[in-house]
Amino acid sequence: MKRYSLILGLLFSFLMGCAGSSYMVKATPPEAPALGKATVYFMRPSSMGYAVKFQIWNGTYFVGLSQAKSYFACQCDPGKHLFLGIAENKVALEADLEAGKSYYVGTNVRMGAWKARMNFTPVTRNSELWDKVDDYKKSLNFIAVVEEERAKWEVSKRQEAQGLVDYYSQGPGKGEVLRLNKEDGR
C-alpha cells in the first residue's frame, strides 16, 4: 500500500509541476474587435493534457497560455502576423488580418513523448469547424492574460521566440507554416 501511495504522490507532484503558474484568469469575452484592430481567438476545446498549457506568441510578443476547455483573444493590428505555438513541439501560423474582423484558431492536443504536443487548426471558410465556432465559444471558459505575469514570461522566453520567428520566417521551417487569410475573418 505504501508503494502505491508513493507512486501516486510522485505522479501528482509531476502533474502539478506541469501545470505552471496562473497567467490566465476567467474574464468576459470582447463583443467585437477594438477599433482599427482584428481579434484572433485561440480555442482549445479538448480536456486532454489538461495540466499542460501551450505558449502562444505573436512573433516575439507573448500572447498567453492556451489551456484545456478554454479560449482567449488577441487584439492585433491589421496585416500579417506570425503566431507561434510552443508545447513539446513547435508550430507556426501566418495570419493576414483585416481590421474589424474576428479570426479563430484551434489549439489541438496530441500525445507526445513526455507531455502533450499541439497543432494549430486555422478556422477557414472551407473548414468543417467554420459553423462550430459559436458552439465552442458557449462550451468553453473565456480567459484573459494577467499583464504583469505576461510581461515577465515574455522577457524570460523572448530569445527562444526570436529563434522560432527566424526558423519559420527565413529558415527551414518556412514550408511548415499554416495560413489564415483575410477572407477567413467574420
pLDDT one-digit tens code per residue, 148-160: 999 999 999 999 9
Residue 12 pLDDT exceeds 80? no
162 occurs within a structural domain = yes
Task: Give the SS3 label for residue 29.
Answer: coil
d(CA 55, CA 52): 10
Write the CA distances from 125 to 50, 54, 87, 129, 176, integer angstroms: 29, 25, 27, 9, 21
Considering only residues 159 and 51, tell me which one the structure prediction assigns the higher pLDDT.
159
1 occurs within a structural domain = no
Enter the pTM of the model: 0.84
Cell of 53: 498549457
33 occurs within a structural domain = yes
Q: Residues 50-66, buried b or exposed e (16+ Cβ, 10 A)?
A: eebbbbbbbbbebbbbb
84 occurs within a structural domain = yes
| Number of compact structural domains in the chain | 1
pLDDT (mean) for 38-66: 88
15 occurs within a structural domain = no
94 occurs within a structural domain = yes
Full domain range(s) for residue 30: 21-184
pLDDT of residue 116: 76
11 occurs within a structural domain = no
Task: Give the SS3 label for residue 88.
Answer: coil
* Kind of pairing between the strands at 38-44 and 102-110: parallel
72 occurs within a structural domain = yes
